[in-house]
Amino acid sequence: MLRGRDVLTALDLSREDFEEIFAAADEVIARGRSQLNLMRGKIMATAFFEPSTRTRLSFQTAMMRLGGEVIDLGEVEKSSIAKGENLSDTVRMLDAYSDVIVIRHRLEGAAKLAAEVAENPVINAGDGSRNHPTQAMIDLYAIRRFRGGIDGLTIGVMGDLKYGRATNSLIMALTKFEVEKIYLISPPQLKLRQETRELLADSGVEFEEVENLEKVISELDVLYASRIQKERFPDPSEYELVKGSYVITPENLRNAKEDLVILHPLPRVDEIDFRVDSLPCAKYFEQAKLGVPVRMALLKLILGG
Amino acid sequence: MRSGKEPILRKIKDGTIIDHIPAGQALNLLRLMAITGREGFTLALVMNVESRKLGRKDIIKVEGLELKPEDTDKIALIAPMATINVVRNYEVVEKRKAVPPKVVEGALKCRNPNCITNKPNEPIKSKFRTISYNPPKLVCEYCGHVMTHEDIVKQLLSEA
């Protein structure tokens, strides 16, 4: 049961929680745009201390489509934070105004602190480099939708596995399912952190770290790509050296399974060649469209609409 | 020369004996307890002696100093599973095992500079959950960063 709960990390969610969200998202999609006014009279506060377009807008759209209302902290530079107000006090204020707080912050654990301060539920819309649980919900829902299920699949997660909160959250979420194998595809500099590796090992999921996509592409049912950020490399020439190995092109998909599904949390820069967009395996734009229904489902379950 | 049966350390009248200290940690423990040797306590210390349980171990005996129960947690983080014996009039009146606490609150600082607990001006205390007891390994409840035994020892001693 998700009612009244905080959503801080994918690790807090059980398989049943995920399935509850998936079922609710199915229902949302089946109803189309005509949603009941389930959230009438409810207010969601969005507090994004770090820039975001997609996540903020999709949360706001989700709440509006459910008939609820939205207040937004606005740009941090123009808000009370610029005057030196701390996070706890800001959250306390938002908590008094709203029924649920959606927060994004640069610092890890900021959402947990917010949840300790707030009486109403807090949803983590990304903090630090580990947690982005609602993105993981969308990603798993996309896998389920495009592949008919999650169990038994071989999934490649590629890109920045060290600092990427989308990739880290997806990996955490996958430990709740019975996947066949996870391939972790990244340059050595951006390999999984020890903590996450131990988590995977403890969960009993089979996984393997590889540096080359082409080596494993023929085995994959799902390929989850993510952005490799140039600024993660101390030496720009090192980045130039590795980036080519992590770009998806029609050429390196030659040996892929026919029913491969490629996902990406977006925005992409150059890690997926534009020529891939028209291939049947390219599902990332459809995946992005699931952001609103999944977040509608989550708000509905948490607020009990 | 010492015969096999003679105890390596003499009995103490009143004080504390810390036994089963992981070999090599006794000096760290003294530093943590802020014992410099200049306090005037009669102090005995042996390191790397044979132990049935541990293979090798260290022992500390301090005459005239009784460790308080609240000292146990910190000792446990450096010397997990050490035995603390409180001695009064040559008798062990209390025996405590230094088991690392399940939750360590406020005593350590998270090493992740991006952890919210390191943000100044927030009413927040660090909080770690113990994920392994011997050697101790802690995970930050806020950011998930893992502190190894080495990290813990280094930090506790830098503050001692």
Q: Do both A48 and A179 map to the same domain?
A: no
Provide the token pair at A200. Answer: 């995977």
Q: What's the average model confidence in pLDDT over B69-74?
A: 86
Three-class SS string for chain A? Answer: CCCCCCECCHHHCCHHHHHHHHHHHHHHHHHCCCCCCCCCCCEEEEEECCCCCHHHHHHHHHHHHCCCEEEECCCHHHCHHHHCCCHHHHHHHHHHHCCEEEEEECCECHHHHHHHHCCCCEEEEEECCCECHHHHHHHHHHHHHHHCCCCCCEEEEECCCCCCHHHHHHHHHHCCCCCCEEEEECCHHHCCCHHHHHHHHHHCCCEEEECCHHHHHHHCCEEEECCCCHHHCCCHHHHHHHHHHHCECCHHHCCCCCCCEEECCCCCCCCECHHHHHCCCECHHHHHHCHHHHHHHHHHHHHCC
- Looking at the structure, do residues A166 and A250 belong to the same domain, yes or no? yes
The residue ranking higher by pLDDT, B102 or A244, is B102
- Full residue range of the structural domain in which residue A111 is found: 10-131+290-303
Q: CA nearest A84 in B: which residue?
A: B121
How close, in Å, is residue B134 to chain A by CA atoms?
17
pLDDT band at B102 (very low <50, low <70, confident <90, very high): very high
Q: Which residues of B touch A194 (CB under 8 A)?
A: 146
Inform me whether the pLDDT recorded for B5 exceeds 60: no
- Using CA atoms, how far apart are residues A217 and A254, in angstroms rounded to an integer? 9
Local structure of B7: helix, strand or coil = coil
Report DSSP state, residue B13.
S
- Tokens at residue A264, please? 């990406």
Q: What's chain B's average pLDDT? A: 90
Question: Which chain A residues have a beta carbon less than 8 Å from that of B125?
Answer: none
Task: Identify whether residues A207 and A273 lie together within a single domain.
Answer: yes
Residues A25 and A94 in one domain: yes
Residues belonging to chain B: 160
Q: Is residue A179 part of a domain?
A: yes
* Shortest CA distance from B141: residue in chain A: A109
- Domains of chain B by residue range: 15-97, 103-159
Same domain, A110 and A19: yes
Task: Note whether A125 and A163 are same-domain residues.
Answer: no
First to last CA, chain A: 13
Does residue B150 belong to the interface with chain A, where contact is any CB pair within 8 Å? no
Res B33 pLDDT > 70: yes
pLDDT computed for residue A195 by the predictor: 87
Element (H, E) at B31: helix B26-32
DSSP summary character for residue B79: S
Instruction: State the average pLDDT over residues B50-70.
Output: 90
Same domain, yes or no: A195 and A231: yes
Least reliable range by pLDDT among A25-34, A108-117, A142-151, A157-166: A25-34
Measured from the Cβ of residue B66, the count of other Cβ atoms closer than 10 Å reads: 14
* Out of A9, A109, A194, closest to residue B116 by CB: A109
Chain B residues in contact with A105 by the CB 8 A cut-off are 116
> What pLDDT score was predicted for residue A284?
97
Instruction: Please check whether residues A121 and A169 belong to one and the same domain.
Output: no
Which 114-133 residues of chain B touch chain A by CB within 8 A?
114-117, 119, 121-124
Chain B nearest C-alpha distance from A281 (Å): 35
Considering only CA atoms, which of A158, A165, A161, A163 is closest in space to residue A136? A165
- Neighbouring CB atoms inside 10 A of A62's CB total 27
**Same domain assignment for residues A224 and A111:** no
Q: Is the pLDDT of residue B103 over 80?
A: yes
Q: What pLDDT shows up at residue A301?
A: 97
Band of residue A1 on the pLDDT scale cut at 50, 70, 90: confident
pLDDT at A241 over 90: no
pLDDT in tens, A44-91: 999 999 888 889 999 999 999 999 999 999 877 666 676 778 999 999
Residue B30 main-chain phi, psi, to 5 deg: -60, -40
Residues A22 and A42 in one domain: yes
Mean pLDDT of chain A: 93
Q: pLDDT class for B8, splitting at 50, 70, 90?
A: low
Q: What is the pLDDT of residues A200-219, one digit of tens each?
A: 999 999 999 999 999 999 99
User: Rounded to whole angstroms, how far apart are CA atoms A184 and A159?
Assistant: 8
* Average pLDDT of the segment spanning A271-285: 96
CA–CA gap between residue A154 and residue B16 (Å, rounded): 58
A274 and A296 in one domain? no
CB B126 within 8 A of CB B140: yes
Give the separation between CA B16 and CA A64, rounded to whole angstroms. 67
> Domain B103-159's class?
mainly beta
What percent of chain A has a predicted confidence (pLDDT) above 70? 96
pLDDT greater than 60 at residue B2: no
Lowest mean pLDDT: which of A146-155, A273-282, B7-16? B7-16
What distance in Å separates residue B101's CA from the closest CA in chain A?
21
Instruction: Report the pLDDT averaged over residues B87-113.
Output: 94
Confidence of residue B7 (pLDDT cuts 50, 70, 90): low
Confidence of residue B69 (pLDDT cuts 50, 70, 90): confident
What's the total number of domains in chain A?
Answer: 2
CATH number for the domain harbouring residue A60: 3.40.50.1370
**How far away is chain A from the Cα of B123, in angstroms, using its nearest Cα?**
7
* In-domain check, residue A3: no
Q: Evaluate if pTM is beyond 0.80.
A: yes
At residue A65, the pLDDT reads 93
pLDDT-derived band at B118 (thresholds 50, 70, 90) equals very high
Q: For the domain covering B15-97, report its CATH number.
A: 3.30.70.140
Strand order in the sheet with B91-97: B42-51, B55-63, B15-22, B83-88, B91-97
pLDDT attached to residue A289: 95
- pLDDT value of position A155: 98
For residue A282, pLDDT beyond 80: yes
- pLDDT value at residue A34: 65
